[in-house]
Structure 1
Amino acid sequence: MQKPLLVTDFLDRARDYYGDHEAVVATTGDRFTYDELGERADRFSAALQSRGIDKGDRVAVLDPNTHYHLEAAYGIMQLGAIHTPLNYRLTPDDFEYILDDAGVDAIYADHEYAENIEAVRDEVPTETFVTNDPDAVDGDWAGFDDLLAAADTDYDRPEMDEDDVITINYTSGTTGDPKGVMRTHRCETLHAYLTTIHQDISDDDVYLWTLPMFHVNGWGHIFSITGMGAKHVCTRGIDAEWIFDTVATEDVSYLCGAPTVLNMLSDYYHDTDVPTSGDNDVRIATAGSAPPEATIRTVEDEFGWYLTHVYGATETGPLVTTSDARRFFDDDSADRFAVKKRQGLGFLGTEVRVVDEDGEDVPRDDETIGEVVVRGNQVMEGYWEKPEATEEAFNERAEGYYHMGDLATVDENGMIAIQDRKKDIIISGGENISSIELEDTLFEHPAVSDVAVIPAPSEKWGEEPKAFVVPESGDPNEPGVTAEELIEFTRDHLARFKTIKRVEFVVSLPTTATGKVQKYELRSKEWEDEDRMIGEG
């Protein structure tokens, strides 16, 4: 038989089996069971429906990781309306573009961010404005809790099809205007199933929301954690002290964090030697650029946490690969770090290939570089109202595959290892240089806390590697190491043509809300006096 795959099933299941169990630890100090979470979502559904929101309408959510985001998301999706989460780091102009592009009919915005919506209110098609603290917001905003108090729990849930679009997640727009990634009930559901399997999510998990819920629906964890009946621990922003304290006091068993978050935790731990767990064993998933081996060693050997390296993109759900292939490493062997640095093997039902410019698979020699392309049930339906961009994304090298824009090698086991973004590969004097390899080498130096390597203009070579280094000392004026020493350090560990040519010490690196380093910002500043942002290398 065939049963439609619907995202509403996740909360329905949790209410059915775990109704009186704790579902959410709120940032307000409140705690909600799944029955209570479900009732609040029902009331929000009823409140939206009474204001004319129907199936297919777009409703935006602008919120840090609070219980309101969970309630709003399910309240929206129970109507068959399209959940459109927004990055709270964006500017009013960004919000104006997205709200107009998606034709958003209603928005819930946290009181700390609502002013950025109020600033463009008259320029967007949105008619219903809701916040969690209307007294803290200028303009005419309805109160979320006031709406729930006035609403009944009854609403009309429409008939939905698994191929209906149910979420639109906007890309960061680093190479142009943001694009709305359309995701159906089917691809959201299957991605949540895959995440549940590959991340070992169970009903007794306590999940700490260090990953933004807006980011591809929190990597699908708003679905998987809920559907399994596990516990959500919400946040309004993170710092290392708070994370360690919450992990210990709430007995957290699972969290996610980009490599920059891992570095932040490592630095704090070495300075304070705090407890790293409560009653539960802890596991952490990381993604983005490969974490350095030194960071993985700290997390596993000193924190006592189990680390899994995963990989993907907004367009792919996001997760498509995992390094957690335990037949290829021993938990007690240092060899595991080399495996965990890799992006790894494709998820179940996911075809991950590395192809050359002709769309042919590169050999499994761990040397030949090609582009990662993906096909799977968790991959997006396409870009919202951008058919040409959709066509290009799926057919540039290999027809019918989403093209990730990442360059990788494949080893004999089929495990991929990202070498660079296509746009970030450094071509110096005709040689291809991996910025990731350089960053990983510099991370091994004890005076380096964080680092990003980009191509910088060079009269002789066209472009050459430059490192932006956050020193362990925290003071760029007294970094505890010289640029010349770091250059020599890379020369001692890598082929001579790969060595860093320039170093700039900085207080911090520009990052996205998920902690991913925004290299394009560094590149833009470095190349602002040039005619183009690429060298003739």
Structure 2
Amino acid sequence: MHKPLLTTDFLDRARTHYGDDEAVVATTGDRFTYGELGERADRFSAALQERGIEKGDRVAVLDPNTHYHLEAAYGIMQLGAVHTPLNYRLTPNDFEYILNDAGVDAIYADYDYAENIEAVRESVPTETFITNDADAVDGEWESFDEMLEAAGTEYDRPEMSEDEIITINYTSGTTGDPKGVCRTHRCETIHAYLITAHQELRDDDVYLWTLPMFHANGWGHIFAVTGIGAKHVCTRGVDAADIFEAVRSEDVSYMCGAPTVLNMLTSHYAEHEPETTGDADVRLATAGSAPPEATIRTVEEEFGWYMKHVYGATETGPLITTSDARRHFDDDSDDRFRIKKRQGLAYLGTEVRVVDEDGNDVPRDDETIGEIVVRGNQIMEKYWNKPEETEEAFNDRIEGYYHMGDLATVDENGMVSIQDRKKDIIISGGENISSIELEDTLFDHPEISDVAVIPAPSDQWGETPKAFVVPEGGDPDDPGVTVDELVDFTRDNLAGYKVVREIEFVEELPTTATGKVQKYELRQEEWEDEDRMVGQG
């Protein structure tokens, strides 16, 4: 028997079996059952349909982790429209590019971020603009709640196929412009099944949203947590004191967070020693960069939480590996910290390999470095309107595998450990930053003759952008511009998380005989005191 795998099945199941059970704790203090969440999603579907949204249309969501995001996502997908979540940390220019690239027909934007859409309203194809507080937003925006009240619950749900695109997640590319990662019902569904198993989700879990819902659909948790019938606790950002209080008061049992979030929590704990659990044991999944052993030790031994280190990319679901291989370590042994730092073993049904430049597997000696490649049912379908980039991503060293751009070793058990990056990507606080985009921005400054941007080690962020700048006048001792002025220049032209934090003026950049900048030499110098050339948050 073949039953189509559809993302709409997750909310349908929760409504059927958990309709009277609490589904969402909202940032407003409101609480919704799965029956109520489903009704609000139905009303959003009906409202969009009344405004002409049809199957295949793209509808954007720009929202922190509120109940509105969950309602909008399912309301969109129930129409067969394409859920297109946006990173709320981007600039108006970024939004202009994405809304045009995806051809977005309608957008829901939280009141805190709607002004960045209003700023480009006249230059995008979007016709329907919705917000959760119309009185707080300039321009003509419809009220989300008033729309729902007027719409009713009746809408026509079209027939859908599991191979149709249902989400587009935009990710920073190595060449600057974001790329739209297209994911089908099938790959979203299978990824949600996988994290349900590997993250050990249960219907009595209480999930705290410390991970952005826009980020690869919250690592798939908008699907998995809903489908299993667990409870969502929403947030409007990450605050260490609020996280500890929510864990205690809501009996949170599971959450996710990049190492930078863990750093915030450990710093707050050291100063204030808050209660770290409610009535439930806590599991925490981290990714983005390998957490230091000291952080894992604090989280497990002082907080009393169990940490899982996972790995992936927006293009891969995102999650494809886990270090939670309990047959390979003793829970009471310090050896577990060494293993939990690794990116780990492949998820079920996922083939993860480390290959050399000829596409051959490197030996399992934990020394030979190759690139991580992967294939599995959770991998993206394609990049939106970018066939050449899609072809390269799947066929660079070896045909038919997505190429991660991370260079790694593999041990005798098949556990991978990232050592370096092939792509010009900096991962700072869990966010991807294109070094090429930063270079292009800095090149626009009149006092810069040449520039190279690399990741530098950061205790707070794991990695942070560092620029090596050749001044226009050629004298690094008298560059004609200050470090602060260049930092402000990047802040004025880029999203805040992309700002260059460190700048070093140099007389020249290391180059090959053909004039290509040798970033590897710069990275070796910056990372010579580290055990690998990637950040540990």
The TM-score, its normalising length taken from structure 2, stands at 0.83
Flag the 1:529–1:138 CA change in 2: closer, same or farther, 3 A: farther
1:420 CA drift (Å): 1.7
Partner residue in 1 for 2:204: 204
Partner residue in 2 for 1:13: 13
Flag the 1:114–1:458 CA change in 2: closer, same or farther, 3 A: closer
- Listed one character per residue, the Cα deviations across residues 334-362 of structure 1 (whole Å, up to 9, x for unaligned) are 11001100000000000000011111100
Partner residue in 2 for 1:265: 265
Which amino acid in the other structure matches residue 216 of structure 1? Answer: A
Partner residue in 2 for 1:337: 337
Partner residue in 2 for 1:473: none
Flag the 1:458–1:167 CA change in 2: closer, same or farther, 3 A: closer
What is the alpha-carbon distance in structure 2 between the residues aligned to residue 458 and residue 111 of structure 1?
39
Flag the 1:449–1:388 CA change in 2: closer, same or farther, 3 A: closer
What is the alpha-carbon distance in structure 1 between the residues aligned to residue 217 and residue 345 of structure 2?
23
1:534 equivalent to 2:534? Answer: no
Aligned identity (percent) is 76
Partner residue in 1 for 2:240: 240
What is the alpha-carbon distance in structure 2 between the residues aligned to residue 71 and residue 363 of structure 1?
48
1:172 CA drift (Å): 2.2
1:128 equivalent to 2:139? Answer: no
1:91 equivalent to 2:96? Answer: no
Q: Is the 8 A contact 1:383 1:389 kept in 2?
A: yes
2:463 is aligned, of 449, 452, 461, to 452
List gaps (5 residues or longer) in structure 1: 427-434, 460-505
1:527 CA drift (Å): 7.4
Flag the 1:205–1:271 CA change in 2: closer, same or farther, 3 A: same
Q: How does 1:338-357 map to 2 (within 5 A)?
A: 338-357=338-357
Helix, strand or coil: the match of 1:290? coil
What is the alpha-carbon distance in structure 2 between the residues aligned to residue 251 and residue 234 of structure 1?
14
Flag the 1:424–1:139 CA change in 2: closer, same or farther, 3 A: closer
1:194 equivalent to 2:205? Answer: no
Which amino acid in the other structure matches residue 24 of structure 2? Answer: V
What is the alpha-carbon distance in structure 2 between the residues aligned to residue 240 and residue 171 of structure 1?
27
Partner residue in 2 for 1:150: 150
Which amino acid in the other structure matches residue 284 of structure 1? Answer: L
What is the alpha-carbon distance in structure 2 between the residues aligned to residue 399 and residue 527 of structure 1?
42
Which amino acid in the other structure matches residue 193 of structure 2? Answer: Y
1:534 CA drift (Å): 3.4
Flag the 1:533–1:4 CA change in 2: closer, same or farther, 3 A: same
Which amino acid in the other structure matches residue 256 of structure 2? Answer: C
What is the alpha-carbon distance in structure 2 between the residues aligned to residue 295 and residue 5 of structure 1?
39
Partner residue in 1 for 2:409: 409
What is the alpha-carbon distance in structure 1 between the residues aligned to residue 361 and residue 261 of structure 2?
34
Helix, strand or coil: the match of 1:61? strand
What is the alpha-carbon distance in structure 2 between the residues aligned to residue 62 and residue 193 of structure 1?
26
Partner residue in 2 for 1:116: 116
Q: Is the 8 A contact 2:250 2:278 kept in 1?
A: yes
What is the alpha-carbon distance in structure 2 between the residues aligned to residue 307 and residue 70 of structure 1?
26
Flag the 1:360–1:458 CA change in 2: closer, same or farther, 3 A: farther
1:288 CA drift (Å): 1.1
Q: Is the 8 A contact 2:466 2:501 kept in 1?
A: no
Helix, strand or coil: the match of 2:117? helix
What is the alpha-carbon distance in structure 2 between the residues aligned to residue 202 and residue 71 of structure 1?
22
Partner residue in 2 for 1:367: 367
Flag the 1:450–1:164 CA change in 2: closer, same or farther, 3 A: closer
Which amino acid in the other structure matches residue 374 of structure 1? Answer: V
Helix, strand or coil: the match of 1:418? strand
Partner residue in 2 for 1:429: none
Flag the 1:527–1:160 CA change in 2: closer, same or farther, 3 A: farther
Which amino acid in the other structure matches residue 127 of structure 1? Answer: E
The size of the alignment, in residue pairs, is 466
Helix, strand or coil: the match of 1:367? coil
- Listed one character per residue, the Cα deviations across residues 476-495 of structure 1 (whole Å, up to 9, x for unaligned) are xxxxxxxxxxxxxxxxxxxx
Helix, strand or coil: the match of 2:176? coil
What is the alpha-carbon distance in structure 1 between the residues aligned to residue 297 and residue 169 of structure 2?
34
Helix, strand or coil: the match of 2:122? helix
What is the alpha-carbon distance in structure 1 between the residues aligned to residue 252 and residue 329 of structure 2?
26
Q: How does 1:262-411 map to 2 (within 5 A)?
A: 262-411=262-411
Flag the 1:526–1:42 CA change in 2: closer, same or farther, 3 A: farther
Helix, strand or coil: the match of 1:297? helix
Partner residue in 2 for 1:494: none
Which amino acid in the other structure matches residue 266 of structure 2? Answer: S
1:28 CA drift (Å): 0.2
Q: Is the 8 A contact 2:194 2:348 kept in 1?
A: yes
Q: Is the 8 A contact 2:467 2:500 kept in 1?
A: no
Partner residue in 1 for 2:217: 217
Q: Is the 8 A contact 1:169 1:215 kept in 2?
A: yes
List gaps (5 residues or longer) in structure 2: 427-453, 471-486, 510-515, 522-537
Partner residue in 2 for 1:100: 100
Q: Is the 8 A contact 1:371 1:406 kept in 2?
A: yes
What is the alpha-carbon distance in structure 2 between the residues aligned to residue 143 and residue 301 of structure 1?
47
Q: Is the 8 A contact 2:44 2:147 kept in 1?
A: yes
Q: Is the 8 A contact 1:457 1:535 kept in 2?
A: no
Q: Is the 8 A contact 1:105 1:125 kept in 2?
A: yes
Q: Is the 8 A contact 2:174 2:425 kept in 1?
A: no
- Listed one character per residue, the Cα deviations across residues 461-486 of structure 1 (whole Å, up to 9, x for unaligned) are xxxxxxxxxxxxxxxxxxxxxxxxxx
Q: Is the 8 A contact 2:464 2:501 kept in 1?
A: no
1:29 CA drift (Å): 0.2
1:6 CA drift (Å): 0.2
Q: Is the 8 A contact 1:108 1:131 kept in 2?
A: yes
Q: Is the 8 A contact 2:289 2:462 kept in 1?
A: no
Partner residue in 1 for 2:256: 256
What is the alpha-carbon distance in structure 1 between the residues aligned to residue 193 and residue 399 of structure 2?
26
- Listed one character per residue, the Cα deviations across residues 53-90 of structure 1 (whole Å, up to 9, x for unaligned) are 00000000000000000000000000000000000000
Q: Is the 8 A contact 1:329 1:336 kept in 2?
A: yes
Q: Is the 8 A contact 2:179 2:383 kept in 1?
A: yes
Helix, strand or coil: the match of 2:245? helix
Which amino acid in the other structure matches residue 356 of structure 1? Answer: D
Flag the 1:528–1:110 CA change in 2: closer, same or farther, 3 A: farther
1:454 CA drift (Å): 7.2
Which amino acid in the other structure matches residue 228 of structure 2? Answer: M
What is the alpha-carbon distance in structure 2 between the residues aligned to residue 177 and residue 254 of structure 1?
34
Which amino acid in the other structure matches residue 534 of structure 1? Answer: Q
Q: CA RMSD in A?
A: 2.4
Helix, strand or coil: the match of 1:309? strand
What is the alpha-carbon distance in structure 2 between the residues aligned to residue 378 and residue 536 of structure 1?
32
- Listed one character per residue, the Cα deviations across residues 346-380 of structure 1 (whole Å, up to 9, x for unaligned) are 00000000011111100000000110001000000
Partner residue in 2 for 1:498: none
1:451 CA drift (Å): 5.4
What is the alpha-carbon distance in structure 1 between the residues aligned to residue 173 and residue 400 of structure 2?
23
1:134 CA drift (Å): 0.4
What is the alpha-carbon distance in structure 2 between the residues aligned to residue 313 and residue 527 of structure 1?
33
1:176 CA drift (Å): 1.5
What is the alpha-carbon distance in structure 1 between the residues aligned to residue 465 and residue 111 of structure 2?
37
1:161 equivalent to 2:161? Answer: yes
- Listed one character per residue, the Cα deviations across residues 387-414 of structure 1 (whole Å, up to 9, x for unaligned) are 0000000000010000000010000000
What is the alpha-carbon distance in structure 1 between the residues aligned to residue 253 and residue 368 of structure 2?
38
Q: Is the 8 A contact 2:323 2:343 kept in 1?
A: yes
What is the alpha-carbon distance in structure 1 between the residues aligned to residue 72 and residue 139 of structure 2?
21
Flag the 1:453–1:171 CA change in 2: closer, same or farther, 3 A: closer
